[in-house]
Structure 1
């Protein structure tokens, strides 16, 4: 059988970095092949080469037996390669239907786009996938999870020989993940080859037939998934055992002062206004399915958005604009770092120093470089030169740059939305340790997460939200992944009464 993907001896270098070193990979039709490795292992570079976005220094790539001679995305698409990227590329001012059929818009005899046919065809495709979206809706009005499902629908709207999925569940939760898994299995059963990149090993065991591990740019392990286990894969990914432990908590002082508070804040879809307090040194987790209101509440607490009703107070005073909040010591790490937190084409140092603590150093090169190096060390960012564009870093290191910006600012409150999405296990534990260190120093930490194990590892207290309402409050020491899942999915009193 001809391989869907066959790359042989692929190497790629960037200034100061050997991203890939003699990598060979085979993906068979009708299989799900997991590509694993910690951030910086070379996964993203290999994906860019396979999809035509980068040209290898050495080696060859064949798609369905045909050599990829022109290393351009258009050439890869002609050979049937489709990509569901980690970053969303939704045209916000177009309808969902136009976004779904963006690569193959139906036209009339006069070569104009038929809006009616676009909506009809897109709605049929969405319904067939089990994606509960209206093709007529404006894409910019959707949640991040819904936009990811629009991308999935676009990726599968045309026949594909190969589908590459890069951290596809990073912004999904609950029902959306179920939809994704069902589509992956449908494609596999139809003979499509799927290359699946994920840091969540339970997804690998649920979906994948084979797994390949990259480490430091080299292929170090290849195995049928049925012949391996969780711990074995972790050992190959990190070249060591990774302990899975519940992180120790220090008791929160009973007299810890309230630093941040939401007073009668109304969230979209909610029936009751919320009162939420966060104390100095506390790690408060906000949990709930996509669209439940956790991200919206976090944005209100950080001053990013103004609540529809009520107010947010910092130290008893009403919280003003985002700029005023940042100056007052409220840090914010958004869910979409590339869109909302980073200047991708600018230097790492500039990205670190755009926060309130670094602006004075931006125009003093020597001071800026010294400050940037200190921030990189504090945030454990793997970078050889703070003058490099931040886009050249792996996703995990880009996230650490955003995190380091607020470490540098010595903020009183740090609000993080999905802080470890797309981050490998080793880096996650580094971030967890840093967050707990900040809390021990008296910083109030608010974390929005769809990772139940993450919540259980970090939180002193968990607030569970559904449809804009607070449905449960759980002591962090008593929280369990299955218990949180049950609270998120249990019917509300209104649903039970109905």
Structure 2
């Protein structure tokens, strides 16, 4: 790639937010007529870099160069006028406007008196969409279209507006297989026409199908840039996860498997399916067993846990606890059955920062602690003191605000809340994420203690080492399906990464 061919470049870009350095001297160069993959795990910095390129964020240091010249876009509109268009995963269309207006927004064809020529605009919109295999009433609001078709409308707008660089953030997440193939044909056409694409995706099949080069981000830093061809899948996964590169010499051999627990499953989730998200996922947990859920970001790990906990809707599937199927699918029915979920984002979905440690712990157990609608403060205090001591929660007092605690102690407060409910099954989503090393060690010890006490634990983690250290079995997900289940001595870092990197048998369809 020669310097003259570079269209868009980040040169030593820095970007920080309170307490977090999101981009740390990131340098990426995108060439003319190139499809450049941008990959990495959760918190790697992909979304931040995309927003820097598109003018949503201003870099704190370094610079963005467009056609070799330093630029500082004041916002997305300025970036768009420079020929850089971004299509976000959640869409960036005006939902109540018509399909045609969305395609031609800001550049509507006009007649002699300066009024919008709707007849021409509708005809042109229909012709443009026909090239994408989309047949739709362009007069209707774009919100009436399926999510995958909306993505194609957003792409049609960017391409028809003459964008020289198109940034696509997880574009296929809501697309049907036919729409995905249409997207790939459009990307091939953009490359052939000398336009550039930055392609953000966690799906390995797509990366190897459409991308020429790849940049891997981890913890806000570039850890690799180079051609996709010649980059082994196992090597790519190891770069994304930050694991040593020890490629398997052949098919993984079964070691001496650990003895299977004699107990019958306390939880059985069978055939969990949700369109574009999960496809026929089945998992069983036994009392005293820690089962890991591995895979790349977007593989369906959190969605599986949230479905089991009644948070996410399902198209099909069944969850059974202690032999009794859950009735109406809801958070309440899951809690009543003894299922507790500690979510990944504890600040927005778990901890209530303004409440005290005491109130956060007692929150879920209050109905159980009440008599005739009256809650005994003494009973609450005893339970809170018990779990603060057992989990070694470091706080000035039970009355301290939970938002003032460290990340590790906030995680423990959430655990204490659910343990106070005496659950049968505990779903832990990235329990070590954002906590310091001592707290991670304490978390490992606590998970072991919970299993010894007979609790069934489903542990979701992006850290392969954490899965190996903690889990009796590991179920590896890929693109919303079960790729492989590992047991006993087969639970190794190399086997988990091999399962993640293996070519998919086909797209997840439900």
Band of TM-score, shorter chain:
0.5 to 0.7
Partner of 1:33: 36
Partner of 1:451: 479
**1:372 aligned onto 2:410:** yes
Partner of 1:17: 20
State the Cα distance separating 1:93 from its structure 2 match.
3.1
What is the DSSP-based 3-state SS (H/G/I as helix, E as strand, rest coil) of the residue aligned with 1:373?
helix
In 2: Cα distance, 1:92 partner to 1:143 partner = 12
Distance 1:436 1:170, change over 3 A: farther
Matches within 5 A, 1:64-463: 64-109=67-112, 111-113=114-116, 115-237=118-240, 238-241=242-245, 302=310, 319=327, 322=330, 324-325=332-333, 328=336, 348-353=346-351, 361=363, 366-367=401-402, 369=405, 372-374=410-412, 375=414, 379-380=430-431, 382-383=433-434, 427=462, 451=479, 454-457=481-484
Distance 1:108 1:18, change over 3 A: same
In 2: Cα distance, 1:450 partner to 1:22 partner = 31
What is the DSSP-based 3-state SS (H/G/I as helix, E as strand, rest coil) of the residue aligned with 1:88?
coil
What is the DSSP-based 3-state SS (H/G/I as helix, E as strand, rest coil) of the residue aligned with 2:180?
helix
Distance 1:139 1:129, change over 3 A: same
Structure 1 unmatched ranges of 5 or more: 269-275, 284-294, 343-347, 386-406, 420-425, 460-480, 490-498
- 1:148-192 residue CA offsets vs partner (Å, 9 max, x unmatched): 333333332311111111222233352222111111111111111
Larger CA deviation: 198-207 vs 104-113: 104-113
Q: Give the number of aligned pairs.
A: 399
In 2: Cα distance, 1:330 partner to 1:107 partner = 60
Partner of 1:465: none
Distance 1:166 1:317, change over 3 A: closer
State the Cα distance separating 1:137 from its structure 2 match.
4.6
Distance 1:330 1:485, change over 3 A: same
In 2: Cα distance, 1:366 partner to 1:45 partner = 31
Distance 1:330 1:194, change over 3 A: same
Distance 1:321 1:486, change over 3 A: closer
- 1:284-336 residue CA offsets vs partner (Å, 9 max, x unmatched): xxxxxxxxxxx9xx9899487799xxx99998799458464465467899xxx
Distance 1:304 1:4, change over 3 A: closer
In 2: Cα distance, 1:277 partner to 1:236 partner = 29
State the Cα distance separating 1:54 from its structure 2 match.
1.3
State the Cα distance separating 1:31 from its structure 2 match.
1.1
- 1:416-441 residue CA offsets vs partner (Å, 9 max, x unmatched): xxx9xxxxxx828689999988x99x
Distance 1:226 1:358, change over 3 A: same
What is the DSSP-based 3-state SS (H/G/I as helix, E as strand, rest coil) of the residue aligned with 2:167?
strand
In 1: Cα distance, 2:507 partner to 2:245 partner = 31
Structure with larger Rg = 2
Instruction: State TM-score, norm by structure 1.
Output: 0.60
Q: What value does the CA root-mean-square deviation take over the aligned residues? A: 5.4
In 1: Cα distance, 2:314 partner to 2:508 partner = 28
Structure 2 unmatched ranges of 5 or more: 276-280, 292-302, 353-358, 365-397, 416-427, 437-449, 487-501
In 2: Cα distance, 1:12 partner to 1:45 partner = 8
Instruction: State TM-score, norm by structure 2.
Output: 0.59
What is the DSSP-based 3-state SS (H/G/I as helix, E as strand, rest coil) of the residue aligned with 1:202?
helix
What is the DSSP-based 3-state SS (H/G/I as helix, E as strand, rest coil) of the residue aligned with 2:29?
strand
